Amino acid sequence: MKFTILALGSAFSVSQAAVLGERATYAVVGKPEGFATGTTGGGSAACAIPSSVAQLKTWLTDSTARCIVLDKEYNFKGTEGTTKETGCRPASNKCPGAGGQDAINKASWCTNGNAGAGVTSISVTYDTAGVSGINVGSNKSLIGVGSKGVIRGKGLRIANGAKNVIIQNIHITELNPQYIWGGDAIAVDGTDLVWIDHCKFSLIGRQMFVAGNGASKRVTLSNNEFDGQTSWSATCDGRHYWAIYLTGSSDLVTMKNNYIHHTSGRSPKIGGNSLVHAVNNYWWSNTGHAFDNGAGGMVVAEGNVFQNVKTPLLANAGKFFAAPTTSANAVCSANLGHVCVLNAFGSSGTLTGTDTAFLSNFKGKSVASASTASSSIANVAGVGKI
């Protein structure tokens, strides 16, 4: 894989290249499509490689525009110690000791009724670093080299006004996967212009990507692999249930060319006041549901592939356009700029939804293009594939 020496259009100086050597040839590749169009991340900042997990955290959290390169694994496990406390065995864990997922009592989840009837209090021990993400500052590009850029044991949080962030070609993994509430890979809440591209998420305790209640405005998730294979499953079948959660206020989320596999639900869960364009994604091996569209959610789903997905859409309490027929899809042209593309299904349930009045919300916004549905996305999504 070969990249230019540019960091979003800005050349390294000779001295910078000499310091970084061969690694100076790595930089952000391409530009975001869809709602996060215009995101520049660290912009012209010279790319640099952190020497340790401590330096990585410092660079991510400071107020300096940065291009941060990861050419190895940064392991946060154990860096904040472990926590032992009372958690619970929720009603969903019907296979304790054989692949179930117990829970940390975050926000009194175990005791406020959300864990279901028949919940049992148990002792839980978890890695403390995993339950809280690194608070990423504005104007950052975080990029990986090949498939070497790994963050283990800690996620990232872009919130409280931080904006203009690019995360590309990074694998985030092992956030207390045995526990519900064990940690989120990437969380956004009260932000704008966030582009997550060619990343991989695996062995995550809670959400692989979550948009919180605050307005996160313009977000694009593209070419990512959401790998739900796990030994601790809330549905006791080796598949992750808590995958993608989009219930923010006034969020604009583009999901394009993502590979979402071995999940059993909430991939994604949508609600709040989120406008979501799900285009050319590939769902594979889902034993429960892909979409769950709650009140306030507005979704256009087009050009996607659903292979071995039991229920592509669990419920629709919001607005949903499922690109049902070629003739019906022409309605997209006036607001999305193209005729919507048919979805494809193999050994899967159906995707329904003919709501169109909300399509005017796309008018004047940056909307991703659409192509014919294809499962080949699995070959190009994730780390090391740009």
Cα torsion through 300, 260, 60, 173, rounded to 10: 160
3-state secondary structure of 147: coil
* Contact (Cβ atoms closer than 8 angstroms) between residue 267 and residue 243: yes
DSSP state of 40: -
Residue of 152, 206, 239, 266 marked catalytic: 266
**What is the rounded radius of gyration, in angstroms, for the C-alpha atoms of the chain?**
20
Total count of residues recorded for the chain: 386
Residues contacting residue 134 through CB under 8 Å, at least 6 positions apart: 57, 60, 61, 154, 155, 156, 157
As given in the structure block, the two tokens for residue 305 are: 């592939």
Side-chain-facing half-sphere of 322: CA atoms under 13 Å:
17
Kindly list the distances between the CA atom of residue 287 and the CA atoms of 15, 181, 276, 341, 352, in Å, as whole numbers in the listed order: 53, 22, 23, 25, 18
Is 239 among the residues known to form the active site?
no
DSSP state of 202: E
As given in the structure block, the two tokens for residue 264 are: 């059993």
Residues contacting residue 71 through CB under 8 Å, at least 6 positions apart: 23, 26, 49, 144, 145, 148, 149
Give the DSSP H or E segment for 134: strand 134-135
Catalytic residues: 266
